[in-house]
Amino acid sequence: MVKSQASGGLKALFRRLVAGESPKESASKVEREKERARRAMAAQTMHENRMLIGKVVKDSLLVAEMLSGSYKFKVLSHGLEENRFSVLLDISQPPRGGEEQQLESEIMIANLARNRYGLEVVSVYWRMSKSALMKRPAAPVPRPADALLGQTDYADLS
């Protein structure tokens, strides 16, 4: 298998030389391709790590008894190659335990991320924002079929 990869590399080099590329141009092209592949892999890993941090945030806020409808969050990475993240939380009301509960939640988020996945959450930012969470109606909207169920007399239909 190593022999076929080596011969494949030699064939590619030969094709480039025949096409008129110098060995330096060919080598720089290979290096650019390697760098592009490395960046793509780093971006994929960063995306997966952000998803893991999101799971940690949800688990931590569930333990803090915050309903998922009462908050939104974003996970920001501090670079492609680093495992450092910040969490931005929009909450509609303060947690039941107040500032102590917020601090405990921040500590839990950081500890779970580090212990489960080896990722570092360097900061958690909280914002009280009712407008961002007011997209859902406060009371359920009755459906027209539900309103008609008790009012129709089926005996009159025959």
Pairing of β 71-77 and β 84-91: antiparallel
Number of Cβ within a 10 Å radius of residue 12: 12
Give, rounded to a whole angstrom, the gap between the first and last alpha carbons of the chain. 82
* Predicted local distance difference test score (pLDDT) of residue 17: 65
| pLDDT tens for each residue of the chain, 158 residues long | 444 445 566 777 667 666 666 666 667 777 888 888 888 888 888 999 999 999 999 999 999 888 888 899 999 988 877 789 999 999 988 888 888 989 999 999 999 999 999 999 999 999 987 664 455 545 555 555 555 555 544 455 54
* Predicted local distance difference test score (pLDDT) of residue 55: 96
* Predicted local distance difference test score (pLDDT) of residue 154: 46
* Predicted local distance difference test score (pLDDT) of residue 2: 44
Place of tokens 């990869």: 5
DSSP reduced 3-state for 82: coil
